Amino acid sequence: MYHWLNALPKAELHIHLEGALEPELLFRLAERNGIALTWANVESLRAAYAFGNLQEFLDLYYQGAGVLRTAQDFYDLTWAYLEKCKEQNVVHTEPFFDPQTHTERGIAFEAVLEGISQALRDGRERLGISSGLILSFLRHLPEEAAFRTLEQALPYRDAFIAVGLDSSEKGFPPRLFERVFAKARSEGLPAVAHAGEEGPPEYVWEALDLLKVRRIDHGVRAAEDPRLIQRLIDEQIPLTVCPLSNVKLCVFRQMSEHNILELLEAGLKVTVNSDDPAYFGGYVTENFAALHEHLGMTEDQARRLAQNSLDARLVH
């Protein structure tokens, strides 16, 4: 299905590794680690994947991540995602991970990083997929916690290409993290941030002006502010848009209402990404396919979106 979309060489710039945890692997890891789950089986877990907003999803996503304990678990998760990349001609990926999701429950930062980094290295060598890891801070936790996480990460500075900002958006504006992002920049780490997913256009302004981000993750609500749209066009700031995610989390009621192609035609540097593919019904190709099916995306538009993703990489 959609061979031509699958065949396009693509980069993925917005994927949370914890969001690539498929129910089958989740159950396998729970068994391996002796963790009791509240769901009877894979089907009943999948049946719980119905969300009214971002927070309802995050509650389940953090619960699911609880089965990840050892470096091997993080390796298996990352490797399974890279095999999907190979299948879908994702030739380059810049995944996020949320260290605080794991360190807050007593998992060593080093175990998380070791498993992920080894899989990314093997992905480079055995699958030919280039990559760069983005360390993302959880914005529902205080800035001091982000500072501690950055301190833990700095001895492994070369394992990262950037810092990011994710989790509950409303009520947690980018300005709360201005100092920790300045510190990351002083260490040579560029920034990206989730903004304008559920939050207002002001959060996108703050991400640009205060966090000095190089890309905006989501950013679809920028459409409500013509001055902001003009800035994003003028500066060619990439938006990492996640269509299936936006519908699953009710940012848009249905795919036919999504604004991604309007943003593309207005001259913004938009890209297509999966966000949390295990939870939202598909990886990058399925996201492209949904745009073709419900928005009439043309082959020319698909090629431009794929090219944008290659152009918007932080590392080449």
Catalytic residue IDs:
197
Which of 194, 215, 221, 269 is the binder for ligand ADE (CB under 6 A)? 194
Tell me: does residue 12 bind Zn ion (CB under 5 A): no
Tell me: does residue 166 bind ligand ADE (CB under 6 A): yes
Tell me: does residue 54 bind ligand ADE (CB under 6 A): yes
From residue 221, how far is each of 170, 217, 261, 273, 305 by CA, in Å? Answer: 13, 11, 14, 17, 19
Tell me: does residue 219 bind ligand ADE (CB under 6 A): no
Tell me: does residue 98 bind Zn ion (CB under 5 A): no
Tell me: does residue 197 bind ligand ADE (CB under 6 A): yes
Interaction partner, residue 167 (Zn ion, ligand ADE, none; CB < 5-8 Å by kind): ligand ADE
Give the x/- contact pattern for ligand ADE in 267-286, rule: CB under 6 A: --------xx----------
- How far is 143 from 163, CA to CA, in rounded Å? 14
Binding to Zn ion in span 275-294, by CB under 5 A: 275
- With beta carbons less than 8 A apart as the criterion, state whether 126 and 83 touch: no
Tell me: does residue 12 bind ligand ADE (CB under 6 A): no
Q: How far is the CB of 121 from ligand ADE (least distance, A)?
A: 24
Identity of the residue, 76 or 275, whose beta carbon is nearer to Zn ion in the bound complex:
275
Identity of the residue, 111 or 287, whose beta carbon is nearer to Zn ion in the bound complex:
287
Q: Which of the stretches 34-42, 177-185, 267-275, 291-299 binds Zn ion when contact is defined by CB under 5 A?
A: 267-275
CB atoms closer than 10 angstroms to residue 151: 10
Q: 76 φ, ψ to 5°? A: -60, -40
The letter for the amino acid at 222 is A
Catalog residues that contact ligand ADE under the rule CB under 6 A. 16, 19, 54, 61, 166-167, 194, 197, 245, 275-276
